[in-house]
Amino acid sequence: MHLANFPRARFAHLPTPLEPLPRLSAALGGEFTLWVKRDDCTGLAGGGNKTRKLEFLLGDALAKGADTLITQGAVQSNHVRQTAAAAARFGLACEVILEQRTGSNAVDYNGSGNVLLDHLMGAKVRTTPGGSDMNAALAAVADEVSAKGGKPYVIPGGGSNPIGALGYVDCAIELVRQADEQGLVIDRIVTATGSAGTHAGLVAGLGLIGADIPVLGIGVRAPKETQEANVHKLAVETAALLGHPDRVTREMTVANCDYVGRGYGLIDDQVIEALKLAARTEALILDPVYTGKGMKGLIALARQGVFKGETVVFLHTGGAQGLFGYHSELEGHLG
């Protein structure tokens, strides 16, 4: 297991801080200790979890001589914003396909937040209706680029393939080293889980270094069975890329998908409560789609006593830029 075997472009601000959240812990009853791993501070055009994945994906793209990055996501995709940023940083063209996944017609959702930054960084943006075959759409754009003599590199949604997930193998190693240095015994890691690469990379990384720390993914879209199967498959593939698929077992993959609410990218009162609580106790700015939902789940589980006596690390995967796409929905609820 040696990450240095893989080409990597270096642009993330690492290591990201590992910080206690004493005021939020107290607000949740004080029966457990909550810390945060600040992957919202990875530094690429606002940062977030995709930056770590993109270090390896860009490394691969550059090694293959690509001149155009192609990817897809929801209109307010943080992954698309960070891919556009990486392309700008390395002088590559960037073609993105945004899926109207939430069905929102709001001006801010469709023009502000992440999508505004995609345009600002020079990505060529196309939109497609919800439910489109996004893999076919990616392939069609890649064919178009090739037909014009370009060299496309297709990054799957969320950057979630084994190469991208190496970024979260690296994060697992970084987090355990930091905890060891600080004398912090971590009982559990909690993270939002969507396209699965973050969760899978963490599980693979922890398994590969033999750290016995469970990871709880709070789902933002798929039902539990689907999410756990996706994460497990990708964790095994990632560990296999590093030579040790046997280090990941099915039991290591745990997702709770009870907090998705009305659907992907749709907010509710509990998400707004989570956004407000984190902001008002710790000045921690979460996002409406992922970390807000992850924190909604964490808060609910904390109130059920699930974490009693534990030290829990919440992985802040970023996304605050997306808040500005939700202005009209949040307005009037921030009192």
Ligand X SMILES: Cc1ncc(COP(=O)(O)O)c(C=O)c1O
Report if residue 72 touches ligand X, rule: CB under 6 A: no
Per-residue x/- mask for ligand X, residues 148 to 177, rule CB under 6 A? ----------x-x-----------------
Smallest gap from residue 289 Cβ to ligand X (A): 7
Report if residue 48 touches ligand X, rule: CB under 6 A: yes
Which segment (11-19, 25-33, 101-109, 283-291) binds ligand X by CB under 6 A? 283-291
Distance CA 97, CA 275 (A): 28
Which segment (84-92, 123-131, 236-244, 314-322) binds ligand X by CB under 6 A? 314-322
- What is the rounded radius of gyration, in angstroms, for the C-alpha atoms of the chain? 19
Q: Is 6 helix (H, G, I), strand (E, B) or coil?
A: coil
Query: Could you tell me if 42 and 16 are in contact, meaning their C-beta atoms sit under 8 angstroms apart?
Result: yes
Report if residue 196 touches ligand X, rule: CB under 6 A: yes
Closest CA to 290 of 223, 201, 220: 220
Report if residue 198 touches ligand X, rule: CB under 6 A: yes
Smallest gap from residue 147 Cβ to ligand X (A): 30
Tokens 């497990």 sit on residue = 232
Of residues 186, 192, 203, 275, which one binds ligand X by CB under 6 A? 192
Active site residue 160: no
Q: Which pair of tokens denotes residue 49?
A: 């979890």
Report if residue 194 touches ligand X, rule: CB under 6 A: yes
Catalytic, out of 25, 77, 104, 112: 77
Q: Which pair of tokens denotes residue 335?
A: 């009192």
3-state secondary structure 34-81: EEEEEHHHCCCCCCCCHHHHHHHHHHHHHHCCCCEEEEEEECCCHHHH
Half-sphere exposure of 221 (CA within 13 A, CB side): 14
Which segment (59-67, 174-182, 258-266, 285-293) binds ligand X by CB under 6 A? 285-293
Query: Could you tell me if 39 and 317 are in contact, meaning their C-beta atoms sit under 8 angstroms apart?
Result: yes
Closest CA to 274 of 262, 290, 256: 290
Question: Burial letters for 15-25: b for 16+ Cβ neighbours within 10 Å, e otherwise?
Answer: bbebebbebbb
Task: Report 13-42 residues binding ligand X (CB under 6 A).
Answer: none
Report if residue 197 touches ligand X, rule: CB under 6 A: yes
Of residues 290, 307, 324, 326, which one binds ligand X by CB under 6 A? 290
Report if residue 97 touches ligand X, rule: CB under 6 A: no
Report if residue 287 touches ligand X, rule: CB under 6 A: yes
Binding residues for ligand X, per CB under 6 A?
48-49, 78-79, 158, 160, 192-199, 287, 290-291, 317-319
Catalytic residues: 77
